[in-house]
C-alpha cells in the first residue's frame, strides 16, 4: 500500500515531521534559555546574599605575642630546666645562673647599710656631745665673768691703797717699801683684770666654735631619723638592688606556653640581655590574614570570621573576631621598600594584614602553632 501513496501525501508527511522537529527544537531552546536565566538569577542572588557578604583569603598565618627570655644579670648557667617543645606554666623554673657573686654583693650591701646606720647614730650622739660643750662654754664664760668682777674689785682696792700711800709719801708717813708694795699690788690687780677679760674672750670664742660645730652636725640630721637619713636610704637602695639581682639569677616563665628556640646550655656564660629562649603562649594565638587591597572596603573591626587550618582541614572551623587592621602594607615596612617612582614601575596588588583573634576554648580543644597556614573568611555584613 505504501507504493500506492501519492507524491503529495509523502510531501505532507515530510512537512509535518519537519514542523514537529522545529517545534521540539524551539521548545528545547526555550527550556535552555529558562535554565540559563535561572542560573544567572541564582548566581546573582548568591552573589548578593552570600558572596558579597564574605571576603576570603588563604594568605593567612598563625602568630602570637611570644615572650623572649632575656636574663637581666650576667653569669654562668648552672641549670636549664626545660628544652624545646616543653610545656611550661607561669612561674615555672626555666634556668638558673650562678648566684655566688650576687650573694657576696648582698652581704656587702648589708654591711654598708649597717655602717651607714651606725654613722648616723654616731652623728646624732656627737650632736648631743656638742650641745653639752656649748653649755660648758656658757658655764666657763659665767665663771670668767665672775673672776673679772673679782679682779676689777681687787684693782679698785689696789688703786685706793696706792693713791693713799702715794699721798702720804711727802709727809714721811709711808715708807718707800710700802709704796713699792702698793705699786706692785696695783699692777698685779691690773694684770688680773686683763687676764680675766682675755679668759672671757677665749671662752666666748670656744663657745662660738662649739655652736658652729653643733650647727654643722645638726644640719646632717635635721628633719631625718635613722631610717630616713640620705646615707641610710642610699645604702638600703643598694641592698635592695643587690637582692633584686640575686633574685634575677633564677629565671621563671612569664606566662603559660611552649618553649621554642632554646639557645642556652649548662656552663655557658650569659651576658645581660642575651636571648636564652622563647615562650610561645599557644592559648593566646591570633591569625594575621593578608587581604588584597580591593577586598578591604567593607572589612571593619568587630566583624566575625571563620578560619580553617591545613593542620586539621575543613573538619575543624575556628571562629574569630577582627580586632585590627595593620597601619601599612607589608611592602611599606619591608627592609628595602619598593621605589615606585622609577620609570619601570609595574602595579602590584598590595596586601594588608588583618588581625583576627581566635576563641581560646577552640584553641584548647584544637591547639595550633605559630606559623601554620590558615584559610580565613570574614563576614563583612556582621558587626559585633
Read off the pLDDT of residues 74-89 as tens digits, 9 standing for 90 and up: 999 999 999 999 999 9
Distance of CA 215 to the CA centre of its chain: 43
Q: How much is the pLDDT for 280?
A: 93
- Asked whether residue 251 falls in the same domain as residue 362, the answer is no
- Asked whether residue 160 falls in the same domain as residue 290, the answer is no
Q: How much is the pLDDT for 221?
A: 67
C-beta separation of 278 from 255 below 8 A: no
Cβ contacts of 13-17, under 8 Å, gap ≥ 24: none
- Asked whether residue 203 falls in the same domain as residue 249, the answer is no
- Asked whether residue 96 falls in the same domain as residue 107, the answer is no
Asked whether residue 190 is assigned to any structural domain, the reply reads yes
- Asked whether residue 195 falls in the same domain as residue 252, the answer is no
| 3-class DSSP assignment, residue 157 | helix
- Asked whether residue 156 falls in the same domain as residue 144, the answer is yes
- Asked whether residue 368 falls in the same domain as residue 308, the answer is yes
* 116, 124, 136, 264 from 215: Cα distances, Å: 21, 12, 16, 59
Residue that wins the pLDDT comparison between 273 and 348: 273
Q: Is the pLDDT of residue 47 over 60?
A: no
- Asked whether residue 189 falls in the same domain as residue 296, the answer is no
pTM of the full structure: 0.63
Asked whether residue 321 is assigned to any structural domain, the reply reads yes
Radius of gyration of the chain (CA): 54
DSSP 52: G
* 202, 213, 279, 300 from 87: Cα distances, Å: 83, 67, 9, 35
Name the domain count of the chain.
Answer: 3
Q: How many CB atoms lie within 10 A of CB 8?
A: 8
Asked whether residue 285 is assigned to any structural domain, the reply reads yes
* Span of 116-120, 124-128, 181-185, 342-346 with lowest mean pLDDT: 342-346
d(CA 145, CA 200): 6
d(CA 87, CA 98): 25
Q: How much is the pLDDT for 2?
A: 45
- Asked whether residue 286 falls in the same domain as residue 367, the answer is yes
Alpha helices in the chain (DSSP H): 7-49, 100-169, 176-221, 230-247, 360-365
d(CA 161, CA 158): 5
Domain that holds residue 369: 54-66+280-379
- Asked whether residue 106 falls in the same domain as residue 215, the answer is yes
C-beta separation of 356 from 289 below 8 A: yes
- Asked whether residue 131 falls in the same domain as residue 256, the answer is no
- Asked whether residue 286 falls in the same domain as residue 167, the answer is no
CATH number, domain of 275, equals 2.40.50.100
Q: Is the pLDDT of residue 4 over 60?
A: no
Amino acid at each position: 500500500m505504501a507504493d500506492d501513496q501519492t507524491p503529495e501525501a509523502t510531501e505532507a508527511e515530510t512537512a509535518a515531521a519537519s514542523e514537529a522537529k522545529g517545534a521540539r527544537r524551539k521548545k528545547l531552546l526555550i527550556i535552555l534559555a529558562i535554565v540559563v536565566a535561572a542560573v544567572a538569577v541564582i548566581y546573582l542572588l548568591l552573589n548578593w546574599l552570600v558572596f558579597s557578604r564574605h571576603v576570603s583569603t588563604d594568605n593567612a598565618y598563625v602568630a602570637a605575642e611570644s615572650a623572649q627570655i632575656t636574663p637581666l644579670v650576667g653569669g654562668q648557667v648552672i641549670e636549664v630546666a626545660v628544652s624545646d617543645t616543653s610545656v611550661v606554666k607561669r612561674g615555672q623554673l626555666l634556668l638558673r645562673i650562678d648566684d655566688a657573686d650576687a650573694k657576696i654583693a648582698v652581704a656587702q650591701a648589708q654591711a654598708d647599710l649597717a655602717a651607714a646606720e651606725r654613722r648616723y647614730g654616731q652623728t646624732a650622739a656627737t650632736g648631743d656631745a656638742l650641745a653639752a660643750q656649748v653649755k660648758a662654754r656658757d658655764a666657763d664664760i659665767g665663771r670668767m665673768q665672775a673672776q673679772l668682777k673679782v679682779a676689777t674689785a681687787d684693782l679698785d682696792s689696789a688703786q685706793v691703797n696706792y693713791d693713799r700711800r702715794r699721798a702720804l709719801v711727802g709727809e714721811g708717813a709711808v715708807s718707800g717699801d710700802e709704796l713699792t708694795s702698793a705699786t706692785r699690788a696695783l699692777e698685779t690687780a691690773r694684770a688680773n683684770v686683763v687676764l680675766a677679760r682675755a679668759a672671757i674672750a677665749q671662752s666666748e670664742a670656744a663657745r662660738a666654735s662649739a655652736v658652729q660645730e653643733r650647727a654643722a652636725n645638726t644640719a646632717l640630721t635635721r628633719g631625718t631619723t635613722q631610717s630616713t637619713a640620705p646615707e641610710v636610704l642610699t645604702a638600703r637602695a643598694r641592698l635592695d638592688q643587690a637582692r633584686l639581682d640575686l633574685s634575677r639569677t633564677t629565671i621563671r616563665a612569664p606566662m603559660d606556653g611552649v618553649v621554642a628556640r632554646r639557645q642556652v646550655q649548662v656552663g655557658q656564660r650569659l651576658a645581660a640581655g642575651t636571648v636564652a629562649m622563647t615562650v610561645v603562649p599557644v592559648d593566646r594565638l591570633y591569625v594575621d590574614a593578608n587581604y588584597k587591597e580591593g577586598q578591604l572596603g567593607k572589612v571593619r573591626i568587630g566583624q566575625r570570621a571563620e578560619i580553617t587550618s591545613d593542620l586539621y582541614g575543613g573538619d575543624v572551623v575556628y571562629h574569630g573576631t577582627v580586632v585590627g587592621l595593620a597601619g601599612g602594607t607589608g611592602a611599606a615596612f619591608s627592609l628595602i621598600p619598593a621605589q615606585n617612582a622609577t620609570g619601570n614601575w609595574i602595579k602590584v596588588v598590595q596586601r594588608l594584614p588583618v588581625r583576627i583573634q581566635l576563641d581560646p576554648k577552640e584553641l584548647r580543644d584544637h591547639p595550633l602553632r605559630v606559623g601554620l597556614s590558615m584559610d580565613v573568611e570574614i563576614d563583612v555584613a556582621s558587626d559585633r
